[in-house]
A = this chain, B = another copy of it.
Amino acid sequence: MARWQPGTPERLQQVALELFATRGFEQTTATEIAQAVGLTERTFFRHFNDKREVLFYGQDVFTQAFLDGIAAAPPAASPIEVVGAALESAASLFPDERRAHSRTRQSVIEKNPALQERESHKLAGLATTIADALRARGVDDLAATLAAESGTTVFGIAFTQWIRDGEQRSLADICAKVLQELLSLTTKANASRSGK
């Protein structure tokens, strides 16, 4: 039972990412990933249903970080302010030392349409979870959906910026800037509309 120590999925994920990045996702088998950390294929499949899932390990922690930020927002906060708190909380999962890991993961996903599809779908699921949490705070249905979708959009754009070569700002700073740009964009549209 010594193999069931905590950290096995993390070790499998780390080595899988290295193998995917150097040899290619298609060319790497679950057996090879397991063997690279001295484990059997069977142990691999105790932790992951397939090798795609290795790239999405940690999704629950990621989703929970958004939910924690929402729970910590003041009761009087507007839906967009609640989303801002969720973004700040989620961004804290990605300190600077994780940037290289995230960059490698994204480069693997970008080379494989099936992985891109799964990534898009997981982000869609995150938006649904955030919208549910906003509804539970009393935000009406449409506003909750829009605020949640806007939040995942802002996160996705900020994340893409964060992993660009040469980018130095923290993910939290970039999230705040992108959210502010969204507010500014829609305020301009409203001002121009009322000026008609």
A190 within 8 A of B: yes
- Tell which of B118, B146, B186 touches A80, judged by Cβ atoms closer than 8 Å: B186
A157 within 8 A of B: yes
Classify chain A's interface size: 35 or more
Task: Give chain B residues whose Cβ lies under 8 Å from the Cβ of A118.
Answer: 117
A178/B146 contact (C-beta < 8 A), A80-B185, A185-B80, A190-B183 known: yes
Among residues of B, the one whose C-beta sits closest to the C-beta of A146 is B182
A160 shortest CB reach to chain B, Å: 9
Q: Assess the A181–B143 pair: CB atoms within 8 A.
A: yes
Question: Footprint of B on A, CB under 8 Å?
Answer: 78-81, 113-114, 116-118, 120-121, 123-124, 142-143, 145-147, 149-150, 153-154, 156-157, 178, 181-190, 192-193
